[in-house]
Amino acid sequence: MSDLSETLHVDHTLDARELTCPLPLLKAKQALNTLMVGQILHIMATDAGSQRDFQRFAELSGHQLLATDILDGEFHYWLRKS
C-alpha cells in the first residue's frame, strides 16, 4: 500500500485490478456517485490505459486528481470528489 493511503484520509477504496478499459473508469464513476463532495476515492488498477483515462477524466469532470502512483505494477489514483 502506498504512503499516500496512510497520509490521506481515504473515504472509499476501489479495487479495479484485472479490469480492462473502460471498466476501471466506469467503476470509479459509480463509486464517486456514492461519495459526498470533498471525499477521497482511492483506485487500484492494473490496466496501463487507466493512466491516461484518469488524468483526462479529472480534467473533464472537475474532480481533483490528488495523486497517482505506480506500485508493484499497479496503478493507484486518489480522486477528491468535486
Range of the domain at 40: 3-80
Q: How far, in Å, CA of 54 to CA of 20, rounded? A: 13
CATH number, position 51: 3.30.110.40
Q: How many folded domains does the chain comprise?
A: 1
According to the model, what pLDDT value does residue 82 have? 95
**What amino acid positions are annotated as catalytic residues?**
21
According to the model, what pLDDT value does residue 47 have? 96
pLDDT higher than 60, residue 2: no
CA dihedral 51, 56, 57, 61 (to 10 degrees): 150
Q: What pLDDT digit, counting tens, does each position of 10-67 carry? A: 999 999 999 999 999 999 999 999 999 999 999 999 999 999 999 999 999 999 999 9
According to the model, what pLDDT value does residue 4 have? 63
- Please give the model's pTM, rounded to 2 decimal places: 0.91
